[in-house]
Amino acid sequence: MTIGSMFGDIFKSLFKKPITEQYPFVKMEVPENLRGKLIWNPEKCTGCMLCIKDCPSNGIELLVVDKVNKKFVMRYNIDRCTFCAQCVESCRFGCIEMSDEMWELASTRKEPFEVFYGRDEDIKFLLENSAKGETETPC
Amino acid sequence: MDVNFPPLVALLLFPGGAFLLFSGLVFEYIDRKLVARFQNRYGPRWFQPLADVVKLLAKEEIIPTGVVKSLFVGLPVIALTAALTSALYVPLFGFKPVFSFQGDLIVTLYLLSVMTLCIGLAGANTEDRFSLIGATRALTQLFSYEAPFLLALLGPAIALQTWNIREINAGAGSGLWFIIAQPIGFVVAMVGLMGKLELPPFDAPEAETEIVAGAFTEYSGRGFAIFKIGRDVELVIGLTLVASFYLGGFNSPLDFLWKTLLLLFVTAALQSLFARLRIDQTVGMWWRVGVLMVLLQLVVIIVGQHLAPIIQPVIQSLFGG
Amino acid sequence: MEPKTAPEKFIVPIGPQHPALKEPGHFEFTVEGEVVTNATARLGFVHRGMEKGAENRTWIQGLYLMERVCGICSHVHALAFALGVEKLAGVQAPPRAQAIRELVSELERIHSHLLWLGVAAHEGGFDTLFMFSWRDRETVMDLLETISGNRVNYSANVLGGVKIDISDKQADAIRKGMDFLEERTQHYLKVVTEDETFLGRTRNIGVMSFEQADFLGAIGPTGRASGVKRDVRVDSPYTAYNDFPVKLITHTHGDLEARFIVRIQELYESYRLVRELVDKMPTGDLSVKVPRRIPEGEVISRVEAPRGELLYFIKSNGSDTPERIKVRTPSLCNWSSVLVTAVGHNLADMPMILAGIDPCFSCNDRIVTVNRKTDSTQMDWEDLRQFGIEYYKWM
């Protein structure tokens, strides 16, 4: 039966620096395995769409520019992604990986949450088409 | 220190009134910061209690249905008034008390209890079940610690043969400090102070995880801010009383500062060491352990006083001659 | 619905919003003075319709949905689902995958028990223990983040295995973390069993005898603290528990102190298991291919969540979406123990008794259909909304 059994703890705490991390002035190091923003490499993609089928939250879409020549553009909705990395697992060619950025998901506008991946000319082609007024069906 | 303040200045500005309110906020900051550092975290910044009060004063005061409106609005004001009035009789900030008369020790202690009575009434005023339970617990706690606390503060009074706080303050500095001469009384006074201020582990009337906020549940805005300020003022005055009686009285503001801050440090350490006591455990502890300890202390004092004329010459002849 | 007049009994609602509850649930305690004479409970505030949602998603998408039934025990939900689907498909995950699954399960158990220690201490007013145990919990959260990439909802499972691997550097970090945590846990065990004020709040409070626990069906550490010898890891081992077994820890007293002791000793078992797994991890593949259309059948899979036995019933009709998934979480079995043991105690003990079973409200809420053959009313949206407003106005 002791009274004040945590006395050692509180006494030592007076001489130690507080453990609280002073975010946002001090940010912790990100571990290398962090499941952050998706990165897609268009070179190896064959357009099998397995990643789209397996995504639990419809966060990625593959827009076809030219199916025969394998030109695709991926539209990635960061606000829908749950960062589960199932797409990384489903892709048989290793086109997708998760980087370790974008773990602070706060923004005042909606635009940063929709990212286009692909070769530059494909993206330009797609944006020109949508500007001309052709509607794309949203996912 | 012997500085004669004109009564109106003392009441409104310094050392009572506005300065006392401000120092209550400072003491609350030091208390919260110390408890946080004991728990290995940062704690609030220096202006946090002031920011809390300003924010609360800016919010809407919601008066629930079923209360007596005049009581609801008036009780916090009465509590704060009582606390500020009792400040006139204690040696605040090292200066001598503005008013003093024989028996003002009892008056001061009762004025400090008015705050708890107001809390009890405020809780009983509403229809909210949490407030009712909080009020019941507050009044139960009042009945249980009041007797030992008063008796513990009477120890130095009996030793110095006076009921006047100013004379006790002056007399406590001469001779042996009462913390060494009456250690049991000091312990009971410290624990009684924590019970009076409803600091953990005696915060059953305001237990956050059981009854939301006890008697304060329905208060918001201005009423809540005034209750908070009243609690802080009571913290300052309570520490002043215990420090002036047991730690050798105050001669100057610097003296006041280090003695009360030392007591605040001990209070903060005691706050973070224990789990919350249930209300029946609090009452049981006080009426069994507390009262017996303080009665034992008083018996020792009185016996010592009567035997002193007999023992002193004997000791002097043994060691002096 | 006419308004009720002043109630005859004094009922204290530990209601949907209360600082004692971390998630919403409604408890009504009838109080005389400070002593509780009756207790009722009402759940269902966090129902999200996940079982229905799983019927519209494919098997792979359903895995991630089931993971989010609970935040603290997310891995075991996904594990139970994956085990059930693999059994239906007739595949078995490779040994390395099973060992990694067990490793993450045990790490999650450590994190959950440390969280519970802090929360239960906070309910008893012992904020210092709360702050210190949550400070130490950060170690295991960082370990999980290093291994799997996320602090909560570590999507380690895929149908057929795992998708994460343990490298040597991570294994060293795990060992160091376990050493640090073991030392701190010894200190907490001493605090919990010896501190006078804390014992005053936990000893002989909420006593549940062995017969009562058996009758009420208490499971998990709550039941084991009363002597009920049930633990799915020992009774019917899954994943790698055949090769890396666990000891069954029970206590006889059945009060709150016993529940603290059982959980802290389970922490010791978990530390030992994690060290053993990291040292003797089998080599091999990480996952096995599972077809997209699962053959027809029904399966029940049971795992040991940190709170008790978790049961999944999965029914497949041969397509690539499930037909029915039923989840029975452990907290659901322990509520009756709270309502029975609460009678006779002070109101001040109620939060600790509630926290003593480690309730996880969001796991709980499932739909139960009651067939009332006598009367039936039909309400549309406006009627339903008005009904709700009237009902809660006079609560």
Q: Is the pLDDT of residue A136 over 50?
A: no
State which H helix or E strand residue A16 sits in. none
Residues B181-238 have pLDDT tens digits of: 888 889 899 988 998 888 888 888 887 778 888 888 888 889 999 999 999 999 999 9
Helix (H, G, I), strand (E, B) or coil at C209: coil
Nearest to B37 among A7, A14, A22 (CB): A14
Q: Which of B148, B168, B159, B147 is nearest to B103 (CA)?
A: B168
Q: What mean pLDDT comes out for the span C348-354?
A: 88
Least confident of C104-113, C197-206, C268-277: C197-206
The pLDDT assigned to C367 comes to 62
On whether any CB of chain B is under 8 Å from the CB of A1, the answer is no
Between chains, do A83 and C163 touch, taking CB under 8 Å as contact? no
The nearest alpha carbon in chain C to B199 belongs to C125
Q: Is the pLDDT of residue A65 over 80?
A: no
Between chains, do B38 and C128 touch, taking CB under 8 Å as contact? yes
CA distance B23 to chain C (A): 26
Q: Compute CA distances C303 → C231, C328, C346, whole Å.
A: 9, 11, 36
CA distance B135 to chain C (A): 12
The pLDDT assigned to B172 comes to 81
Nearest to B277 among C121, C132, C197 (CB): C197
A vs C: CB pairs below 8 A: 74
Chain A: touching chains (3 or more CB pairs < 8 Å): B, C
CA distance A135 to chain C (A): 27
The pLDDT assigned to C73 comes to 87
Percentage of chain B lying above the pLDDT 90 cut? 26
- Provide the whole-model pTM: 0.89
The pLDDT assigned to B309 comes to 79
Nearest to C194 among A2, A35, A85 (CB): A2
Residues C57-79 have pLDDT tens digits of: 999 999 999 998 888 889 999 99
Which token pair is A110? 């909606």
Position with higher pLDDT, C206 vs A120:
C206
The nearest alpha carbon in chain A to B273 belongs to A4
The pLDDT assigned to A139 comes to 41
The pLDDT assigned to C376 comes to 67
Q: Is the pLDDT of residue C306 over 80?
A: yes
Position with higher pLDDT, C16 vs B79:
B79
Residues B56-72 have pLDDT tens digits of: 999 988 888 888 889 99
The pLDDT assigned to C372 comes to 64
Complex ipTM: 0.88
The pLDDT assigned to C81 comes to 93
- Mean model confidence pLDDT for chain C: 87
DSSP summary character for residue A24:
T
Collect all residues with Cβ–Cβ distance below 8 Å to C76 and sequence separation of at least 6.
Answer: C105, C108, C303, C304, C305, C306, C310
The pLDDT assigned to C374 comes to 64
Q: Which of B111, B114, B107, B112 is nearest to B163 (CA)?
A: B107
Which token pair is B310? 């007999």
Between chains, do C34 and B280 touch, taking CB under 8 Å as contact? yes
Contact C313, C188 (CB under 8 A): no
The pLDDT assigned to C371 comes to 65
The pLDDT assigned to A138 comes to 45
Residues B238-253 have pLDDT tens digits of: 999 899 888 888 888 8
The pLDDT assigned to C318 comes to 86
The pLDDT assigned to B53 comes to 93
On whether any CB of chain C is under 8 Å from the CB of A20, the answer is no
Contact B84, B17 (CB under 8 A): yes
Alpha-carbon span C312 to C325, nearest angstrom? 7
Contact B1, B253 (CB under 8 A): yes
Domain C50-329's class?
Answer: mainly alpha
On whether any CB of chain C is under 8 Å from the CB of A102, the answer is no
Sheet containing A71-77: order of strands: A60-66, A71-77, A114-117
Q: What mean pLDDT comes out for the span C336-352?
A: 88
The pLDDT assigned to B311 comes to 75
Percentage of chain A lying above the pLDDT 90 cut? 0
Omega before B313 within 30 of 0, i.e. cis? no
Q: Confidence class of residue C370 from pLDDT cuts 50, 70 and 90?
A: low
Residue from B202, B276, B280 whose CB has the most chain C CBs within 10 Å, to mutate: B276
The pLDDT assigned to A133 comes to 47
> Is B315 among the domain residues?
no
The pLDDT assigned to A134 comes to 43
CA distance B182 to chain A (A): 22
Q: What mean pLDDT comes out for the span A111-121?
A: 76
The pLDDT assigned to A131 comes to 66
Name the pairing type of β-strands C161-162 and C157-158: antiparallel
Q: What mean pLDDT comes out for the span C154-182?
A: 91
Domain total of chain B: 1
Contact C306, C73 (CB under 8 A): yes
Between chains, do A13 and B40 touch, taking CB under 8 Å as contact? yes
Q: Is the pLDDT of residue A77 over 60?
A: yes
The pLDDT assigned to C51 comes to 86
Residue from C12, C184, C187, C205 whose CB has the most chain B CBs within 10 Å, to mutate: C12
Alpha-carbon span B198 to B144, nearest angstrom? 13
> Is B320 among the domain residues?
no
Q: Which amino acid belongs to residue C142?
A: D
B51-B55-B56 Cα angle (round to 5): 120
Domains and CATH numbers, chain A: 34-131 (3.30.70.3270)
Q: Confidence class of residue C375 from pLDDT cuts 50, 70 and 90?
A: low
> Is B319 among the domain residues?
no
CA distance C190 to chain B (A): 14
Range of the domain at B288: 7-307
Chain C: touching chains (3 or more CB pairs < 8 Å): A, B
Residues B103-153 have pLDDT tens digits of: 888 999 999 999 899 999 998 888 888 888 889 899 999 888 888 888 888
Chain C residues near residue B133 by CB distance under 8 angstroms:
12, 31, 34, 347
Q: Confidence class of residue B7 from pLDDT cuts 50, 70 and 90?
A: confident
